[in-house]
Chain A
Amino acid sequence: MLETFIIPLLQIAVLLNAVLVAVTFMVLMERKVMAWAQARLGPMRVGPHGILQAIVDPIKLILKEDITPVAADKWVFTVAPIMSLVPALVVFSVVPFGPDPLYYVADINVGLLFIVAVTSIGVYGIILGGWSSNSKYPLLASLRASAQLISYEIAVTMTLVSVILTSGTLSLVGIVEAQREAGVWFGFIQPVAFVLVFIGGLAETNRVPFDLPEAETELTGGFHTEYSGMRFALFFLAEYANIIVISAIVAIMFLGGWMRPFPNVEALAFLDLIPPWIWLIGKIFLFLYVFIWIRATLPRYRYDQLMRLGWKVLIPIAIGNLVITGIVKVLV
Chain B
Amino acid sequence: MTIEAPRRVGQAFDTDELVLNMGPQHPSTHGVLRVVLRLDGERVVDADCVIGYIHRGVEKLCENRDWTQIILLTDRMDYVAAATSNLGYVETVEKLMQVEVPRRARYIRTILAELQRIASHCLWLGTHAMDIGAMTVLLYAFREREHVLDLFEEYCGARLTYNSMRIGGLPLDIPTGWDKKVSAFCDLMEPKLDEYEELLTNNRIWVGRTRDIGVISGEEATALGLCGPPLRGSGVSRDVRKDEPNAAYEEFDFDIPLGTRGDTYDRYLIRLEEFKQSIRIIRQALEGMPEGPVMGKVPRLIKPPAGETYHAIESPKGELGYFIVSDGRSTNPYRFRVRPPSFCNLQGLRRLVRGHLVADVVALIGTIDIVLGEVDR
Contacts and interface: CB of A to CB of B under 8 A. Distances in A.
Interface in A283-332: 295-305
Given A216-B27, A220-B26, A220-B27, A303 B20 contact: no
A218 interface: yes
Interface in A198-222: 208-209, 211-212, 215-220
Interface in A83-98: none
Given A218-B362, A220-B26, A303-B42, A298 B140 contact: no
Given A217-B130, A302-B208, A302-B357, A38 B139 contact: yes
A34 B137 CA distance: 12
B297 to A, nearest CB: 48
Given A38-B139, A217-B28, A299-B203, A136 B133 contact: no
B206 interface: yes
Contacts of B136: 37-38, 296-297
B209 interface: yes
Interface in B184-228: 199-200, 203, 205-206, 208-209
Contact of A140 (B135, B139, B358, B361): B358
B205 A217 contact: no
Contacts of A303: 42, 357, 359
Nearest to B200: A299
A85 to B, nearest CB: 26
A298 B28 contact: no
B188 to A, nearest CB: 14
A304 B357 contact: yes
Contacts of B203: 298-299
Contacts of A208: 133, 135
A39 B138 CA distance: 11
Interface string B125-156: 00001111111100110010000000000000
Contact of A300 (B18, B132, B200): B132
A136 B18 contact: yes
Q: How large is the interface on B (under 10, 10 to 19, 20 to 34, 35 or more residues)?
A: 20 to 34
A37 B139 CA distance: 10
A302 B135 contact: no
A218 to B, nearest CB: 5
A40 interface: yes
Q: Considering residues A38, A211, A299, which has the most beta carbons from chain B within 10 angstroms of its beta carbon?
A: A299
Q: How large is the interface on A (under 10, 10 to 19, 20 to 34, 35 or more residues)?
A: 20 to 34
Given A220-B26, A302-B359, A140 B140 contact: no
Contacts of A300: 132-134, 205, 209, 359
B91 interface: no
A39 B199 contact: no
B131 A298 contact: no
B266 interface: no
B129 A299 contact: yes
A197 to B, nearest CB: 20
Contact of B133 (A217, A220, A304): A217
B209 A218 contact: no
A38 B133 contact: no
A86 B29 CA distance: 36
Contacts of A136: 18, 20-21
B360 interface: yes
B139 A218 contact: no
A5 B27 CA distance: 50
B208 A301 contact: yes
B335 to A, nearest CB: 40
Interface in A133-185: 136-137, 140, 144
A55 B124 CA distance: 36
B124 to A, nearest CB: 15
Interface string B68-92: 0000000000000000000000000
Interface in B334-377: 357-362
A296 B362 CA distance: 20
Contacts of B140: 38-39
A296 B134 CA distance: 7
Nearest to B127: A217
Contacts of B143: 39
Interface string B13-51: 000001011000011100000000000001000000000
A296 B42 contact: no
B150 to A, nearest CB: 16
A298 B359 contact: no
Contacts of B130: 217
Nearest to B23: A220
Interface in A268-283: none
Given A136-B18, A217-B131, A217-B133, A298 B205 contact: yes
A23 to B, nearest CB: 21
Contacts of B42: 140, 144, 303
B206 A299 contact: yes
B214 to A, nearest CB: 13
B359 A218 contact: yes
B139 A40 contact: yes
B135 A305 contact: no
Given A140-B42, A211-B133, A302 B360 contact: yes
A157 to B, nearest CB: 25
Contacts of A301: 205, 208-209
A331 to B, nearest CB: 36
Given A209-B205, A218-B28, A218-B358, A298 B139 contact: no
Given A208-B133, A218-B359, A296-B135, 16 more contacts: A38-B136, A40-B139, A140-B20, A140-B358, A217-B28, A217-B131, A217-B133, A218-B358, A219-B358, A298-B133, A298-B203, A299-B209, A300-B132, A300-B134, A302-B359, A305-B205
Query: A-B pairs with the 7 shortest C-beta distances?
Result: A300-B133, A299-B134, A38-B139, A299-B133, A217-B28, A299-B132, A217-B131
24 contacts: A34-B135, A38-B139, A39-B139, A39-B143, A40-B139, A136-B21, A140-B42, A144-B42, A212-B359, A216-B27, A217-B131, A218-B359, A218-B362, A220-B27, A299-B129, A299-B134, A299-B206, A299-B209, A300-B134, A300-B205, A301-B209, A302-B359, A304-B357, A305-B205
